[in-house]
Amino acid sequence: MKVAVAGTGYVGLVAGVCFAEKGQNVICVDVDENKINMMKQGISPIYEENLQELMQKNYKEGRINYTTDYKNAYKDADFIFIGVGTPERADGSANLDYVFEVAKQIAQTIEKDCVVVIKSTVPIGTNDEVEKYIQNNLKHNVKVTIASNPEFLAQGTAVNDTLNASRIVIGTEDLETKEKMLNLYKNFNLPIVATNRRSAEMIKYASNDFLALKISFMNEIANLCEVVGADVEDVAKGMSYDKRIGDKFLKAGCGYGGSCFPKDTKALHYLAQQQGYELKTIKAAIEVNKNQKLVLIRKARKKFKTFKGLNIAVLGLTFKAGTDDLREAPSLENIPILLEDGANIKAYDPVGEENFKRKFQEQIVYTNTPQEALRDADICFIFTDWDEIKSIRPDEYKNLMKKPNIYDGRNIYKINEMKECNYYSIGR
């Protein structure tokens, strides 16, 4: 079967590569010609474990290709996956412009019956709207059906999350489309949840927002632990033995970020408001996370009334380890405050530096090792728990820094390891 994929970001590219790995003939479409040429050379535009290797393997074996020519890509495809971005608008709603631009291209170019699959995260009811749009604008007399097939990948483990997913969710409105989707995924040999389209769209939002809620809950508990003298890590461990709770997403820190949780919580909250309903729990998660991203700055302000003239080491720029994505990263909230206060910043991140330079080129000194960033620093902020950062020995802070004031937003170290430093963490 021929599978066309619109968009080569985390959603589209990972989906395309994984379908190729499972034996399908895949063509990935993007408007950026430089990006297409880079991918044809076997270079991934995003940092993701095992993605580049699978790109090279399947391109060499002829199962995947890349193009800007959407007309030829779509016209005879059996499946067309829409995997473009749905960025957040200022009011919190999802911007569907890219989705409908692809829908327009599909309507104008397809010359055979096909299934259009929306893999992008879209508000409930979007599949219905796309179906109406395409059917009202078809140039040729062909049959098109729409399926919802949301992704459940995490950045940093996206390939594994796709090839070894906990479940595949398929939303359709007719038996024929359902059978085609089941056949497409048969080589994955994974559990499949088949439902209608609106339920599939809601499964995606409900899943992401529940995890965001879980993180925010633990951050609130962590903040209270500091007040009452409890240890949030002991609390989380005690909770984790309850199978109804589990041990995932119980780690307290300086807030969640990335391309999914911030955007999806706001989008579902906005959607509910438009329907005259307020999701109080989701609203709370959004507020808690916004507040949590500045928790380290507030801790430091208690000791330092100003950061002017101080040497500050920032360890970790991306929103989490394993990715070069900066979207909603705590570093983006904190560094402007430090710069405005007049701090001298040295920053280290093993893969996020180039992306960060596009936002802060000259104001920051970027280092090749975390030790270089720590040298002669008055304060160290840890925003990401990369292995390179976790491997720093406690005595290195004392020996390298002018004063070992460490503000750890990821609870990398145990309290007793850092007794010779001024060490501040989350919820302990």
- Is the domain of 232 the same as that of 182? no
- Is the domain of 154 the same as that of 233? no
For the record, the structure tokens of 237 come out as 């461990």
Domain boundary among 272, 292, 312: 292
- Is the domain of 182 the same as that of 81? yes
pTM for this prediction: 0.93
The pLDDT value recorded for residue 362 is 85
3-state SS string over 322-339? Answer: CCCCCCCCHHHHHHHHHH
Is residue 147 within 8 Å of residue 116, measured between CB atoms? yes
Domain boundary among 195, 222, 254: 195
What 8-state DSSP symbol labels residue 266? H
Query: Checking DSSP bridges between strand 2-6 and strand 25-29, what pairing results, if any?
Result: parallel
What is the span of the domain harbouring residue 171? 2-195
Please name the residues in contact with 236: beta carbons below 8 A apart, sequence gap of 6 or more: 218, 247, 250, 251, 252
- Is the domain of 217 the same as that of 176? no
Give the pLDDT confidence of 324-369 residue by residue, as tens digits: 999 999 999 999 999 999 999 999 999 999 999 999 988 999 999 9
- Is the domain of 186 the same as that of 47? yes
- Is the domain of 375 the same as that of 310? yes
Number of domains in the chain: 3
CA distance 34 to 18: 22
Provide the CATH number for the domain around residue 60. Answer: 3.40.50.720
Provide the CATH number for the domain around residue 279. Answer: 1.10.1040.10
Is residue 181 within 8 Å of residue 200, measured between CB atoms? no
CA distance 67 to 359: 29
Give the pLDDT confidence of 129-138 residue by residue, as tens digits: 999 999 999 9
The pLDDT value recorded for residue 361 is 85
Spell out the long-range contacts of 125-134 with Cβ–Cβ below 8 A and sequence spacing 24 or more. Answer: 125/198, 125/201, 126/96, 126/99, 126/201, 127/171, 127/197, 127/198, 127/200, 127/201, 128/197, 128/198, 130/82, 130/99, 130/100, 130/103, 133/100, 133/103, 133/104, 133/107, 134/103, 134/106, 134/107
Known catalytic residues are 260
- Is the domain of 379 the same as that of 335? yes
What 8-state DSSP symbol labels residue 94? B
Average confidence score pLDDT of the chain: 97
Give the pLDDT confidence of 230-255 residue by residue, as tens digits: 999 999 999 999 999 999 999 999 99
CA distance 158 to 277: 33
Give the pLDDT confidence of 148-193 residue by residue, as tens digits: 999 999 999 999 999 999 999 999 999 999 999 999 999 999 999 9
CA distance 339 to 243: 45
- φ, ψ of residue 188 in degrees (nearest 5): -75, -30
Q: At what angle do helices 197-228 and 261-274 cross, to 10 degrees?
A: 110
CA distance 392 to 386: 10
Tell me the three state secondary structure of residue 79. strand
- Is the domain of 74 the same as that of 148? yes
- Is the domain of 170 the same as that of 143? yes
Rg (CA), the chain: 23
- Is the domain of 268 the same as that of 366? no
Domain boundary among 259, 292, 325: 292
- Is the domain of 125 the same as that of 45? yes
- Is the domain of 287 the same as that of 304? no
160 burial level (CB within 10 Å; 0-12, 13-18, 19+): middle
Stretch 15-31: mean pLDDT, rounded?
98
Positive or negative torsion for Cα 209, 214, 219, 224: positive
Give percent above pLDDT 90 in the chain.
98
CA distance 349 to 364: 13
281 burial level (CB within 10 Å; 0-12, 13-18, 19+): middle
Give the residue from 149, 151, 153, 165 showing the smallest Cα distance to 197: 149
